[in-house]
Copies of this chain bind each other. A is one copy, B any other.
Amino acid sequence: MRAEIITIGDELLIGQVVDTNSAWMAQKLNEQGIELYQITSVHDDRDHIIAALNEAFSRADIVLTTGGLGPTKDDITKHVLCAYFGAHLIEDQNVRAHIEDLYKDRPDVLNRLTATQWLVPDKAIILENRVGSAPLMIFHKEDKLLACMPGVPYEMKIAMEEQILPYIQSKIKNQKSEILHRTIQVTGIAESTLAILLDEFEQTMPSDLHLAYLPKDGMIRLRLSSYGALSEAEMQTYTDQLTELVKDYLIADTDEPIEVLIGRILTERHQTIATAESCTGGKLASLLSKHPGSSAFYYGSVISYDNSVKEHLLGVPAEMIQKHGVVSEEVVRVMAESARKQIGTDFAIATSGIAGPTGGSAAKPVGTVWMAWATPKGTTAECFHLGKLREQITDRACTKALVGLLKILNHKS
């Protein structure tokens, strides 16, 4: 059972919007045992959309589209689908009632353009878009299926989970294979060195089991994938073998983000954490507070982007900054210990570095980042050189900070 995604919108092709929908949809399809074969991004253009539909149907059983369903002139997906399937637009009373309810407190929105949203192709099965005005449409084309959703990410997500995936499930049961992915995460080894370490393992793997290497921010994710070939138990055996081979570098035995693993350990142990960030500027706090339930272990942060904040809120002595510089072991140690004490947590992480593009020197070039981890058993600090680009430096600093903490937490268990 193969699917393809077509994302529709000029904004994708001029780079005004990053397509985050496709990765999310891909995960959901894989969980359901549906292989995603290709993602295609096309313009809001009739011929382009039709060509993409024809190509996708030639390769896949299920085609999902996002985008082009708004009420304005630039959105043409519904009209193109009418042309493609020889359908005509008719008023749908359920959709109309839903939209009238959706905007009952905003009469100005119930205008003639919004009214076009309850016109639907007469050959489509219409499913409710609970959180928006664009109805979800399903078309059957011989034994194949097309599902059309809005491009707004949170509308698409609710549509997929509540309507589209259950509908697809009901149509394809018994036709899907079991897609299995297992990912583990390692750090402290180069990709090529790791591949040499795993050479024999890769040579003895069955030919329909695949191993992928995904390096990012100083970590490597190792993913085993099987498309219907292996059972859960067989997959587990290979995953265990792989895990054993890389055990000296293992940081996580799942694909979950490091901050989720940290959160789970801290929550289980009823421990808490704070951050004191300079160069990462809130990115670390944002990661630690991103996931539901984070208030159980994440207490807060002092973001001391300016030196005055380091002095006044974190008690870093001005003379220390004067003597050692703000990017120094001395300063990050005080920052971490002060955050831990003032915020009243078990752990605290501090970062101070030069994210660039300016501010570097021969002794401390752009990319130099000091960080410290304050714990109930004392404080450790480490210096990293994390590259040349601002975003890369702050992303890597967050990864290093979290990996460092995870190591401390794992060591203590």
A residues sitting closer than 8 Å to B (CB atoms) are: 10-20, 22-30, 36-44, 48, 52, 55, 70-75, 106, 108-109, 111-114, 131, 152-154, 157-158, 181, 183, 190-193, 195-196, 202, 210-216, 221, 223, 225, 255, 272, 274-275, 277, 281-290, 292, 294-295, 298-306, 308-309, 312-313, 342-344, 356-358, 387-392
Give Cα A193–Cα B107 distance, bound, in whole angstroms. 10
Minimal Cβ-Cβ distance residue in B for A291: B390
Bound Cα distance from A39 to B17, whole angstroms: 13
Q: Give the residue name and chain of the B residue nearest to A309 (CB).
A: B300
Let me know if A109 and B193 touch, CB within 8 A: yes
Q: Are B25 and A15 in contact (CB under 8 A)?
A: yes
Q: Would you call B300 and A304 a contact (CB within 8 A)? A: yes
Q: Which B residues are in CB contact (< 8 Å) with A212?
A: 10-11, 44, 74
Query: Contact: A192 with B289, CB < 8 Å?
Result: no
B195 close to A72 (CB less than 8 A): yes
Report which residue of A37, A183, A289, A358 has the largest number of chain B beta carbons within 10 angstroms of its beta carbon. Answer: A289
- In Å, the complex CA distance between A387 and B153 comes to 13
In contact, B10 and A390 (Cβ under 8 angstroms): no
In the complex, the answer to whether A14 meets B36 with C-beta atoms within 8 Å is yes
| Contact between chains at B20 and A221 (CB < 8 Å) | no
Q: Is the CB of A389 within 8 A of B157?
A: yes
Q: Distance (Å) between the CB of A127 and the closest chain B CB?
A: 19
Taking the full assembly, how many copies of this chain does it contain?
2
A-B pairs, top 3 by smallest CB distance, nearest first, are: A282-B285, A281-B289, A15-B26
Q: How far does the alpha carbon of A388 sit from the alpha carbon of B132 in the complex, in Å?
A: 13
CB pair A306 B300 closer than 8 Å: yes
Closest to A210 in B: B74
Of B195, B225, B289, B305, which is within 8 A of A305 by CB? B289
CA distance A16 to B26 in the complex (A): 8
Docked-complex contact B289 and A313, CB < 8 angstroms: no
Q: Complex Cα distance A389/B157, Å?
A: 10
| A37 engages B43 (CB within 8 Å) | yes
In angstroms, Cα B408 to Cα A361, docked, is 38
> Closest B-chain residue to A183, C-beta based?
B16
Taken together as a complex, chains A and B put the C-alpha atoms of A192 and B223 apart, in Å, by: 45
In contact, B284 and A113 (Cβ under 8 angstroms): no
Answer whether A113 and B192 are a contact pair too, CB < 8 Å, given A74-B211, A305-B299: yes
Contact of A300 among B18, B192, B305 (CB under 8 A): B305
Whether the pair A192, B72 counts as a contact (CB closer than 8 A) is yes
Evaluate contact between B289 and A301: CB separation under 8 angstroms. Answer: no
Which residues of chain B are within 8 angstroms of A301 by Cβ–Cβ distance?
282, 301-303, 305
Which B residues are in CB contact (< 8 Å) with A313? 300, 302, 313, 342-343
Contact B71–A191 (Cβ < 8 Å): yes
Q: Which residues of B contact A43 (CB under 8 A)?
A: 37-38
Report whether B305 and A71 are in contact in the complex, using a CB–CB cutoff of 8 Å: no
CB-CB under 8 A from A40, the residues of chain B are 38-41
Cβ-defined contact, A211 with B73, below 8 A: yes
Closest Cβ of chain B to A282, distance in Å, is: 3
Closest residue on chain B to residue A284 by CB atoms = B282
